Structure 1
């Protein structure tokens, strides 16, 4: 649970209620205005109705799986930046090109003596959409905090990289968290969460019937693996050390 707490602390979002400050751009393309990212806070990567029975279980193994899956779903707290406030208009900002076509939105809010400006850019290439989020504190240069790509095809695949966790943290070139996903033709869904600095990764497979597996890797070595059935009410678990299973069993709720 120590590692789970570290991940959760890393993904504490700086909560701000944005008030809109916008300017118009006569040149900005409008055909990207209806493009939406594949996930949002009401549609997370892992179905919350699958996770809830595990979280609410008195079985510690079920609760741990539910906690890991919930942590993976914390990606959605950053997606509030992909929903520009009502009334936000397209703006012309020096954010750089990221595709054959792009549109950007910006809004500003104040908190105490500080002013925060957020810019959200959507770009398009022949086969994918690119989503970028920047922020500026008290008029400073824009720092990129989120970069994401998602395919245009029927079977979605993509990734999202997080470079900073709050406006007072300097956004650098290092990726703090990366999320990647792939929809497969058999109806299954692959999802991964990685962090190079803390050297962990979570790899999740959800089958078409909602059964699935999760594995947790630390410093390149498998630490934990578990499975669940289609209703999330029973499954298996294994703990590893030096590549060997040191504890295993089944769980049910």
Structure 2
């Protein structure tokens, strides 16, 4: 399956159950990259706008790039009424915008789907002199429930290759071949996720690209295993999954 289609049919569950991002992350982005709140931001792989749309008040123009029709449908609905937001249907490595269009390019929960080299070249084309690329993931901290959820995913999800597309730590060296030497850094912000009930926890897991779809082989068994996991770890109707929002950022040449 083409990466573009892996979230087809998941937009509604993605929007409903995926965690948001902490205000501290947006405050950092504002201070570091958009102090005048007038620049242009291009967000790639925008999905339903979970990460992107809170950027709108921080910049003069926000361009959301999303190739999947189902996710883009939800993104457009969520962006309605925001005068400085534009939605583009495009892959991240071939965006129909002129060179030097932006000061900042972002990708949240998306970079692992991109052709790294092609995306890097496109960023270099689109960025104005001195501009940055920021790559963001919500990364689960090491703990018992994370380890058990990993095992459940390995058992019931044939497409599972690891959390966060394999970027499950905070090692900036993972991006040595993407960011220009000496320009990269990492920032981390606490973002523990609290699930208020089994439905929220199961829904979050089902929003993943690798999760079996309703009616497919393994779906019922997967949901049952997730429910059992929730029952064992929830306390007082709440289940907390320790998590950080981690941003890797730098320049590309």
Q: Please indicate, yes or no, whether the TM-score normalized by the shorter chain is above 0.5.
A: no
**TM-score, L = length of structure 1:** 0.27
Q: Which has the higher contact order (CA 8 A, sep 6+)?
A: 2
User: Greater strand percent: which structure?
Assistant: 1
User: Greater helix percent: which structure?
Assistant: 2
Q: Which has the larger radius of gyration?
A: 1
